[in-house]
Chain A
Amino acid sequence: MMLFRRRSDLPLAGDATSRFLPWLVALMVFLAAMAVAGAFVISGLMERWDRDVSGTLTVQVIPAGGDHAEAATEERVRVAVEVMRKVPGVLAVKAFDKKRTLALLEPWLGNTDMVQDMPLPRLIDVTVDSDARIDLGEVASRLARAVPGASLDDHRVWLSRLINLSRTMQWLAVVVVVLIGAVTSATVVYATRTGMAVHHGIIEVLHLIGAHDDYIARQFADRAFSLGIAGGLMGLGLALPALTALGWAAKRLEGGFLPSIGLPVLGYVALALLPLLAAGLAMLTARLTVHGTLARMP
């Protein structure tokens, strides 16, 4: 019979809360989605950098001056390669010849005669076993003694700074999400209290005919959940195109420096869970608020 369709005992659907709460949750889920996606992208980048860079060192050799500059420089490079080969834990040593160095620099300097004649530093690419504990300070000074003008670049130094920065940003994302949750909760508390005040008469009747506090709390909680889900899906619906657009923009900016930015599957799962989390939070908050408020009534 239609007369008995499933409905709540409290006419909550008409409350002002029904109008503003979904929008607020939508905004919160949108912001949380940005923070979560950001955190995942950063952690993806960190892994890539780590993988690409932790196994390599670069030796830089300043070109020699004087009459036989070219030959003297070649000699320096040869000695440096030899020194590096003797370091335990080094897997491969490969000097870039002048042509290769020029090719590397071409995007920045072009390829003119003037560039060809410039005394360019020479680079030696060293692959190390990433598990080996190499005393880089000791290697650097040994190298400097053997070859004047040779220096050792450890990518791990700047990488570790980058990783620290990324960690900080990830924590920031967590803090942002927690704050968003707190704001959402506070709003639900306020909305629930307002709803209880508006429907005070009905709540009293429900009590007098023998309703437990939880019977009443559940109705507010159900309502908060459905408003939360509606708002959360709306927020996610706005966040996904925004993230896609950001992804495109990043791809176009991307030089060799940024590995391609993409959200891992886990990231999409986390995003999909956001509306559920928001709705669950709203539901729990509403339920606890009703219990708390009723417990203070006679």
Chain B
Amino acid sequence: MRHRPRGEDIIRFDSVGLRYGLGPEVLQDVTFALPSGSFHFLTGPSGAGKSSLLRLMYLGLRPTRGRVVLFDRDIANTKRYELPALRRRIGVVFQDFRLLDHMTALDNVALPLRVRGVRESEIRKHVPELLSWVGLADHLGARPSTLSGGQKQRVAIARAVIGRPDLLLADEPTGNVDDHIAMRLMYLFEELNKLGTTIVVATHNEGLVERFAHNPRLHIEHGMVSRVT
């Protein structure tokens, strides 16, 4: 993991607009910057565009207008072959998990490391450790289809953090788990944050926001993003 000075912007949006196909603009004139090492919640009503904003941040979509600067790179001027290197610095917990159904939990979590060409011996060491930490020690060989919603969510989280990302984007990461596990997962995020990872968590859970918010939260409504302190 790269250690960057805290405070320097890790991601910056400048008048970003996004529309799907010919539909209305889901995001309009979104401008904000997140300093490196910060921890933000992203809130807003359902359908407001939280997942869409995260999609722009993890380079799953390109904005229809405006400028996205990630790790000091203007995404519009970034070549296709340069994207993987940027994406490897980002961990994503998708709202719908997007686990690969034909693989075991272990292989799913190992995937980001395999893609990077990490040695199998390393993978064998770290992946079961992390899965145990999220309470899935007994489900290493399970296929996602045999796991509960909350178990899948934890596999998804493990896959997002296994590569020690500089930026962690989590979309409703505690939506399917009880309060006890939700706390545990938030502590995991806090630990990562202390080690330097910038974190954005989209959530509806006000209690969680109350309890863990240290930095201004981002709130989306009517296509606009505002900072709430």
Contact = CB atoms under 8 A, between A and B. Distances in A.
Interface stretch (A98-106, A120-128, A208-216, A227-235): A208-216
Interface string A189-210: 0000000000001101111111
Given A208-B58, A210-B116, A211-B115, A4 B124 contact: yes
Given A209-B159, A212-B84, A295-B80, A3 B58 contact: no
A295 B112 CA distance: 21
A298 interface: yes
B106 interface: yes
A3 B102 contact: no
A208 B92 contact: yes
| Candidate in B59, B61, B92, B100 with the most chain A CB atoms within 10 angstroms | B100
A14 to B, nearest CB: 8
Interface string B95-131: 0001010111011001110111000100110000000
Given A1-B124, A4-B120, A201-B98, A208 B87 contact: yes
B87 A210 contact: yes
Contacts of B159: 209
A204 B111 CA distance: 13
Nearest to A295: B80
Nearest to B60: A208
A1 B121 CA distance: 11
Interface residues of A, number: 21
B204 interface: no
B102 A11 contact: yes
A212 B81 CA distance: 7
Given A1-B124, A3-B104, A4-B124, A215 B115 contact: yes
Interface in B65-104: 80-81, 83-85, 87-88, 92, 98, 100, 102-104
A75 interface: no
B62 interface: yes
Q: Is the interface of A mostly helix, strand, loop or mixed?
A: helix
A123 B124 CA distance: 87
A123 to B, nearest CB: 77
B202 to A, nearest CB: 16
B224 interface: no
Contacts of A295: 80
Given A210-B84, A211-B84, A212-B81, A205 B140 contact: no
A9 interface: yes
B8 to A, nearest CB: 22
B100 A202 contact: yes
Interface in A153-192: none
Contacts of A298: 61-62
Interface in B36-82: 58-62, 80-81
Interface of B: 58-62, 80-81, 83-85, 87-88, 92, 98, 100, 102-104, 106-107, 110-112, 114-116, 120, 123-124, 140-141, 159, 163
20 contacts: A3-B104, A3-B106, A3-B141, A4-B123, A9-B114, A205-B98, A207-B87, A208-B58, A209-B87, A209-B88, A209-B92, A209-B111, A209-B112, A210-B85, A210-B87, A210-B88, A210-B112, A212-B81, A213-B80, A295-B80
Which 9 A-B pairs give the minimum distances between C-beta atoms?
A210-B88, A11-B102, A210-B87, A211-B115, A209-B112, A210-B84, A212-B84, A3-B106, A3-B141
Given A4-B107, A209-B92, 14 more contacts: A1-B124, A3-B106, A4-B106, A4-B110, A4-B120, A11-B102, A207-B87, A208-B87, A209-B111, A209-B163, A210-B112, A210-B163, A212-B115, A298-B62
